[in-house]
Amino acid sequence: MRRTLRAHGRRTAGVAALALALTATVQQPARAEPTTLAEVRAALQRLYHDAEVATDKYNAADVKVTRQEKRVRTLRAQVGAAERRLTRLTALAGAAARAQYRGGGLPAEVQFVLSDDPRHALENASLARQAQQGTQLVITAVATTSRNLRADTDEASDVLNRLRANRRTMDTEREKIEKHIAAAKRLESRLAASQRRELDAMDTKDANDAQAKWVSTGILGKVGTTTTAAGKKAVEHAAKQIGKPYVWGAEGPDAFDCSGLTSQAWLAAGVVIPRTSEEQWRRLPHIPVESMRPGDLIIYFSDASHVAIYIGNGEIISAPRPGRNVYISPAGSMEILGVVRPEA
């Protein structure tokens, strides 16, 4: 399965040429040219992994901008509402003052002297003063709130501008992602059909070996087999996406990346979770692997760069990488970092 290409001159030359083209395209530091299919496979895995890490960072930057845009819109709406209320209160206070002026309002002490009922005059004067004081207090409070909201809005807008600038910087990362993926696809496309079959066989063997090792620990006898209503909905939604292509940065409905699939699956179940695999790992409750149940998310690799939804029976549904479709695969086929539970 892992025979070298050195024994096959034309295949060696082809792989070497692809390696040179690959290095030039993505401008990576010089590496030893792959001379075996195993080395080509390692190069492909590295490219796709780097693309997935960069994708997660790009998605995270995009989420921050979207969230901040919403905050700025909310603050601006609150400022507008406060200023409209202030305008109304000021107008009402002015109208009351003008009405009092037109009505020839007298000072409280004069009303007291002239009134047939001094107690009634005092009550009227007291109520008038309370009303005036109350109105002024409200106007002052609303004016203060309006100033504070404007200050908060200015600060939030500054943060938004910085986040947008960061996202523009991430556009450079976007170009790198696309170059990595394009280079990997070219490398795969130029392999002979027999070489691609051999690469697939390597992937399958490694996945099956890793799954067998994981299952041999007795883990499947410990994990849960039933789930909640929300977990069931999340799994069902993920299952409906099987066969749809992986597209980096996509979250449906026609294509997905790994965290786009898991976040949308749980959104369909009525639970909002972070958009990226890194944030899902960082912010969602961690569950021991032996306690997981269908619907839980398995986070893969030490950098939390991949995520899939566990569906039971030792299997997951995931959007694996560019060039592949959403599919069912063994849960233990990759390095498991841990498990998180969206609804905990």
Superfamily designation of domain 218-340: endopeptidase domain like (from Nostoc punctiforme) (3.90.1720.10)
CA angle 6, 16, 45 (to 5 degrees): 100
Full-model pTM: 0.60
What is the structure's pLDDT at 34?
54
In the chain, the N- to C-terminal Cα span, in Å, equals 45
Asked if the 1-191 domain carries CATH number 2.30.30, the reply is no
The residue ranges of every structural domain in the chain are 1-191, 218-340
For residue 104, what is the DSSP state?
A: T
List the chain residues with pLDDT less than 50: 1-30, 101, 104-115
Instruction: Render pLDDT for 261-316 as a digit per residue (tens, 0 to 9).
Output: 999 999 999 999 999 999 999 999 999 999 999 999 999 999 999 999 999 999 99
Q: How many CB atoms lie within 10 A of CB 84?
A: 12
* Structure tokens, 218: 């007795």
